[in-house]
């Protein structure tokens, strides 16, 4: 019946013959389920490659910079970092916002794109979520250790301590504590729930090859997954619920981070545009980092069939869109400063663009607004090397954005007696540099021991899993 | 999900532990642990780790008088141990029916900075690195454009012709932004209008400093140092007792003096009598009369809505 109706399509369609635009294929070369499993599990099961060891040792070495820097800081005082009055928040807060921003792509990909049924998320969501968690770890280091007395940092948590003192819930810093810890928790949960079916696959494969230890460990975390219909239906419901919970978090975390500034009185911070502008910037930087990480992985492990040009195109387009939003926000800040006729705001923005930190401002504009515009061109999006370089520009630009916001406003606030210039110390530089090591160590462990892509989800978007596969042409 | 279990032994060639892989792993782990241990060394040489007593201390507003007596004794012991001077530490409460205000006569101030130094001597600020609560701005006659101010002026003699000076310190706002942003309630406004800091509760996040439009707050980025013979032994818990590394401090209207019926140190030392201080709730106090009758032209940065208790006025 339905077929008959379909066949008798409106005559107009016969007449105009609309072009059939083929849908992008998410798994190329019509790969089989077995191929996908072997490909992804092979990364874990194969011998540890030499490049992995080299990278891992280098990453550990770099990470030790953070450990050493933080130790020296705690033992000596936060004055070993470059922040001084009046710039009482220097690099640590810049680095905090930078890392937490990077952590935004993960939840966006896993939660919002899941709810919007953007199937291209499947091959990148696992790694992006891992990146999110590791970025949150790196972000957490800075606000905790930037406080003068880190051994009292637990005062920030509403623990049932002997004092039973509530924290000051009017303080945006306190909101941050909840925003970031909630985000971290939900990201870990989401990541873990998604991992369960894949861990079970690894459990079974290691069992089959006789590696009992690893089979046991993967089995432990797979929590008895057998892939029954009941398991899948519960799993999918849990995943959907978590996606629902995580969706507002994508917006809330960076909104609240922006409140640290927006709620304060300092000119250049005290503005209502901050929340949307920070969220757009965070997604922008997150996708920048996803590209930075995924493109080398794709090349090393020959994952071109799973991370297709279509995936890269999508990520580039999101980067372009969010980068343009950020550019709009920069312009709007200037407009509002002029339109509000507030002399402090006006001064602050002119000082940002042409004052002592003009160099940082123009690096920011170049990397965040100008270079992403190249993603309009298909030739740029298909040149993976160029995409990778541009994604690094995004990372650099977004770090400078936070630097510009924090340092220009603090160096030129209300009274000239509190004007200064911020310069980082060597400890600042080492500690920040070291967090890339921390991040890399975690990420390398991730790609070595956990499936970097969700096998089950990728299988669900293959052509053979699609009951309508091939029907587009009829 | 269908499982394509490979029974291919090539898939996992390094299953199990060999002697070589064990030795290699152990060597990597040992090197790593040694590196971590070496980098943690400075932690064991730290001096200012809080004592268990201090660590478990209750929140200021929850301390009973008996608790407070113990805390004060502990502080006295600690100060004596560090400086060799036995201080007299008190916990002075706000007085009933008192709300303090400060007025500064811009016609008289000559910019000698004696207040700055008296404040340092009274309030046990760190001498190295140097911490001062009062900053004196020099402005050319005929303008209040603070962008034209200079706080690094160093003439041979003050007052300088064609300039006037304006000392700025904590404005003890009615609506203090610093109190709102403190995540742990380590700073609050007392009933007599003084915004205080509990140095035992401050975690050192410096948000209050970022929030303050007057740059009234000063942070101990490193260990403060005061020569023992310069220590002022007359101390208050919320006032001038020595601070530790990593805490915020600021002007507290010399709480150790003003709550005991004395004037602040900056006022006493002022050679021109530009500084006036008192209880605004008493209509006959000097400060009330000044606020009523003089040309009190401004509260600094009125436009940010902090409503300071610190007023600037002119004689004429």
What is the full DSSP assignment across A384-407? HHHHHHHHHHHHHHHHHHHHIIII
CA angle at residue B160 from B156 to B166, to 5 degrees? 110
Tell whether A63 lies on the interface with B, counting CB pairs under 8 A.
no
CA angle at residue A46 from A43 to A49, to 5 degrees? 85
For residue A8, being part of any structural domain is answered with no
Looking at residue A164, what is its pLDDT?
Answer: 65
For residue A398, being part of any structural domain is answered with yes
How far does the CA of residue A331 sit from the closest CA of chain B (Å)? Answer: 25
Q: Do A151 and B50 touch (CB under 8 A)?
A: yes
**Which member of B11, B214, B245 has the closest CB to residue A148?**
B245
Tell whether A341 lies on the interface with B, counting CB pairs under 8 A.
no
Q: Closest-CA residue in chain A for B46?
A: A75
Residue numbers in A near B35 (CB within 8 A):
64
Segment A236-248 shows an average pLDDT of 91
CB count in 10 Å sphere of residue A163: 16
Segment A172-189 shows an average pLDDT of 92
For residue A229, being part of any structural domain is answered with yes
Tokens 């409503």 correspond to what residue? B307
Q: What is the mean pLDDT of chain B?
A: 88
User: Which segments of chain B have a pLDDT < 50?
Assistant: 1-15
Report residue A473's pLDDT band, with 50, 70 and 90 as the boundaries: very low
Distance CA A27, CA A305 (A): 6
For residue A3, being part of any structural domain is answered with no
How is residue B173 annotated by DSSP? -
Partnered with residue B310 across adjacent β-strands are: B102
Looking at residue A402, what is its pLDDT?
Answer: 94
For A54-93, write each residue's pLDDT tens digit. Answer: 999 999 999 999 999 999 998 888 989 988 888 888 899 9
Residue numbers in A near B33 (CB within 8 A):
none
Q: Do A77 and B220 touch (CB under 8 A)?
A: yes
Residues B54 and B62 sit within 8 Å (Cβ to Cβ) = no
Q: Do A148 and B213 touch (CB under 8 A)?
A: no
- Single out the residue of B153, B154, B133, B172 nearest to residue B266, CA to CA: B133
Tokens 């490193």 correspond to what residue? B222
Distance CA B68, CA A376 (A): 68
Distance CA A316, CA A373 (A): 10
- In this predicted complex, what is the ipTM? 0.84
Tell whether A4 lies on the interface with B, counting CB pairs under 8 A.
no
**Chain A interface, best mutation among B165, B210, B215, by max A CB count within 10 A:** B210
By residue range, what is the domain housing residue A301?
29-463
Looking at residue A52, what is its pLDDT?
Answer: 94
CATH node for B100-314: 3.30.70.20
Percent of residues, chain A, with pLDDT higher than 90: 64
Tell whether A42 lies on the interface with B, counting CB pairs under 8 A.
yes
Distance CA A152, CA A141 (A): 15
Looking at residue B196, what is its pLDDT?
Answer: 96
How far does the CA of residue A414 sit from the closest CA of chain B (Å)? Answer: 6
Residue numbers in B near A165 (CB within 8 A):
59, 62, 184-185
CA dihedral B148, B149, B154, B157 (to 10 degrees): 90
Distance CA A126, CA B79 (A): 56
How far does the CA of residue B106 sit from the closest CA of chain A (Å)? Answer: 18
CB count in 10 Å sphere of residue B127: 14
For residue A225, being part of any structural domain is answered with yes
How far does the CA of residue B54 sit from the closest CA of chain A (Å)? Answer: 11
Tell whether A79 lies on the interface with B, counting CB pairs under 8 A.
yes
- Single out the residue of B115, B73, B60, B118 nearest to residue B235, CA to CA: B73
Q: Do A264 and B6 touch (CB under 8 A)?
A: no
Residue numbers in A near B137 (CB within 8 A):
415-417
Residue numbers in B near A209 (CB within 8 A):
6-7, 9, 11-12, 15
Q: What is the mean pLDDT of chain A?
A: 89
Residue numbers in A near B56 (CB within 8 A):
162
Looking at residue B236, what is its pLDDT?
Answer: 95
Burial of A323 (0-12, 13-18, 19+ CB in 10 A): buried
Looking at residue A471, what is its pLDDT?
Answer: 53
**Which member of A45, A64, A156 has the closest CB to residue B12?**
A45
For A105-153, write each residue's pLDDT tens digit. Answer: 888 888 888 888 888 888 888 999 999 999 999 999 999 999 999 988 8
Q: Do B3 and A204 touch (CB under 8 A)?
A: yes
Residue numbers in B near A441 (CB within 8 A):
none
Domain containing A52 — which CATH number?
1.20.1630.10
Looking at residue B7, what is its pLDDT?
Answer: 46
Which pairing describes strands B310-314 and B295-298: parallel, antiparallel, or unpaired? Answer: antiparallel
How far does the CA of residue B195 sit from the closest CA of chain A (Å)? Answer: 16
Better-predicted residue by pLDDT, B4 or A403: A403
Both tokens assigned to A241: 């619920």
Q: Do A64 and B12 touch (CB under 8 A)?
A: no
Write down the pTM of the prediction.
0.89
**Which member of B45, B210, B222 has the closest CB to residue A89?**
B210
Q: Closest-CA residue in chain A for B215?
A: A418
Residue numbers in A near B182 (CB within 8 A):
168, 171
Q: What is the 3-state secondary structure (H, E, C) of A153-192?
A: HHHHCCCCCCCCCCCCCCCHHHHHHHHHHHHHHHHHHHHH
Looking at residue A23, what is its pLDDT?
Answer: 76
**Which member of A85, A162, A413 has the closest CB to residue B58?**
A162
Report residue A399's pLDDT band, with 50, 70 and 90 as the boundaries: very high
Distance CA A215, CA A202 (A): 7
Which run of H or E residues covers position A444?
helix A426-449
Report residue A7's pLDDT band, with 50, 70 and 90 as the boundaries: low
Looking at residue B13, what is its pLDDT?
Answer: 46
Both tokens assigned to B178: 């610093």
**Chain A interface, best mutation among B7, B8, B12, B307, by max A CB count within 10 A:** B12
How is residue B101 annotated by DSSP? E
How is residue B236 annotated by DSSP? E
Q: Closest-CA residue in chain B for A168?
A: B183
CB count in 10 Å sphere of residue B84: 10
* Helix ranges (DSSP H) in chain B: 19-39, 41-44, 52-55, 65-83, 114-123, 177-181, 207-211, 255-258, 265-269, 286-293
Q: Do B35 and A88 touch (CB under 8 A)?
A: no
Helices A274-300 & A229-262, crossing angle to 10 degrees?
A: 130
What are the residue boundaries of the structural domains of chain B, listed by start? 51-88, 100-314
Looking at residue A163, what is its pLDDT?
Answer: 58
For residue A328, being part of any structural domain is answered with yes
Looking at residue A160, what is its pLDDT?
Answer: 66
Residues A422 and A90 sit within 8 Å (Cβ to Cβ) = yes
For B159-215, write each residue's pLDDT tens digit. Answer: 999 999 999 999 999 999 999 999 999 999 999 999 999 999 999 999 999 889 888
Which pairing describes strands B234-236 and B310-314: parallel, antiparallel, or unpaired? Answer: unpaired
Tally of CA atoms within 13 A in the half-sphere of B96 that contains its CB = 0
From first CA to last CA, the distance across chain A in angstroms is 17
Q: Do A148 and B246 touch (CB under 8 A)?
A: yes
Residues A401 and A333 sit within 8 Å (Cβ to Cβ) = no
Total domains, chain A: 1
């Amino acid at each position: 019946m339905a077929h008959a109706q379909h066949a008798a399509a409106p005559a107009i369609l016969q007449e105009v013959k609309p072009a059939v635009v083929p849908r992008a294929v998410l798994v190329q070369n019509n790969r089989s389920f077995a191929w996908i499993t072997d490909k992804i599990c092979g990364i874990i099961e194969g011998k540890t490659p030499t490049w992995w060891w080299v990278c891992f040792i280098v990453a550990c070495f770099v990470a030790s910079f953070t450990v050493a820097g933080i130790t020296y800081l705690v033992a000596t005082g936060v004055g070993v970092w470059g922040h001084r009055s009046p710039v009482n928040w220097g690099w640590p807060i810049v680095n905090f916002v930078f890392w937490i921003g990077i952590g935004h792509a993960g939840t966006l990909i896993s939660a919002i794109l899941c709810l919007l049924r953007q199937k291209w998320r499947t091959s990148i969501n696992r790694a992006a979520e891992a990146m999110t968690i590791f970025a949150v770890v790196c972000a957490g280091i800075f606000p905790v250790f930037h406080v003068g007395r880190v051994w009292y940092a637990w005062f920030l948590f509403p623990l049932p301590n002997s004092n039973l003192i509530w924290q000051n819930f009017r303080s945006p810093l306190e909101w941050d504590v909840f925003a970031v810890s909630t985000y971290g928790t939900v990201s870990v949960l989401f990541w873990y729930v998604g991992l369960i079916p894949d861990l079970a696959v690894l459990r079974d494969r290691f069992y089959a090859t006789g590696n009992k230890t690893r089979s046991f460990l993967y089995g432990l975390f797979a929590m008895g997954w057998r892939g029954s219909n009941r398991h899948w239906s519960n799993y999918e419901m849990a995943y959907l619920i978590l996606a629902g919970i995580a969706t507002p978090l994508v917006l809330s975390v960076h909104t609240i981070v922006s409140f640290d500034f927006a709620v304060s009185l300092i000119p250049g911070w005290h503005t209502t545009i901050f929340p949307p502008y920070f969220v757009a910037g965070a997604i922008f930087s997150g996708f920048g980092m996803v590209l930075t990480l995924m493109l080398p992985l794709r090349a090393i492990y020959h994952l071109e069939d799973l991370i297709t040009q279509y995936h890269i195109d999508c990520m580039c387009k999101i980067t372009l869109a969010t980068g343009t939003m950020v550019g709009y926000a920069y312009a709007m800040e200037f407009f509002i400063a002029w339109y509000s006729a507030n002399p402090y705001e006006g001064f602050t923005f002119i000082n940002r663009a042409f004052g002592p930190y003009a160099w940082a401002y123009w690096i920011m504009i170049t990397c965040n607004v100008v270079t992403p515009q190249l993603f309009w061109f298909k030739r740029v999006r298909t040149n993976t090397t160029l995409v990778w370089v541009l994604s690094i520009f995004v990372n650099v630009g977004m770090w400078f954005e936070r630097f510009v916001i924090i340092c220009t406003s603090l160096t030129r606030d209300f009274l000239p007696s509190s004007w200064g210039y911020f310069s980082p110390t060597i400890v600042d530089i080492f500690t920040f540099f070291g967090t890339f090591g921390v991040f890399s160590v975690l990420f390398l462990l991730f790609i070595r021991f956990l499936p970097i892509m969700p096998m089950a989800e990728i299988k669900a978007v293959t052509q053979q899993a699609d009951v309508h596969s091939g029907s587009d042409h009829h | 999900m269908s499982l394509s279990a490979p029974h291919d032994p090539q898939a996992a060639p390094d299953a199990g532990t060999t002697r070589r892989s064990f030795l290699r792993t152990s060597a990597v782990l040992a090197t790593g642990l040694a590196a971590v241990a070496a980098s943690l060394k400075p932690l064991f040489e730290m001096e200012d780790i809080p004592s268990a007593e201090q660590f478990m201390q209750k929140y200021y507003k929850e301390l009973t008088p008996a608790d407070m007596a113990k805390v004060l004794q502990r502080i006295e012991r600690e100060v004596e141990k560090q400086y060799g001077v036995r201080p007299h530490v008190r916990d002075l409460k706000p007085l009933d029916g008192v709300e303090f205000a400060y007025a500064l006569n811009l016609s008289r101030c000559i910019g000698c900075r004696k207040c700055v130094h008296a404040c340092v001597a009274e309030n046990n600020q760190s001498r190295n690195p140097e911490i001062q609560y009062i900053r004196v701005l020099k402005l050319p006659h005929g303008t209040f454009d603070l962008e034209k101010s200079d706080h690094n002026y160093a003439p041979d003699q003050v007052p300088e012709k064609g300039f006037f000076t304006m000392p700025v310190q904590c404005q003890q706002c009615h609506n203090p932004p610093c109190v709102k942003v403190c995540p742990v309630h380590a700073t609050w406004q007392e009933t007599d209008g003084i915004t205080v800091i509990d140095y035992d509760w401050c975690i050192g996040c410096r948000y209050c400093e970022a929030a303050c439009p007057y740059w009234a707050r000063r942070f101990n980025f490193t260990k403060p140092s005061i020569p023992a013979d310069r220590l002022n032994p007359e101390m208050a818990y919320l006032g001038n007792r020595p601070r530790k590394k990593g805490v915020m401090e600021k002007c507290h209207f010399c709480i150790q003096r003003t709550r005991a019926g004395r004037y602040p140190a900056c006022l006493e030392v002022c050679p021109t009598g530009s500084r006036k201080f008192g209880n605004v709730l008493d209509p006959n106090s000097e400060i009330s009369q000044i606020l009523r009758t003089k040309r009190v032209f401004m509260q600094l940065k009125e436009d940010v809505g902090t409503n300071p208790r610190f007023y600037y006025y002119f004689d004429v």
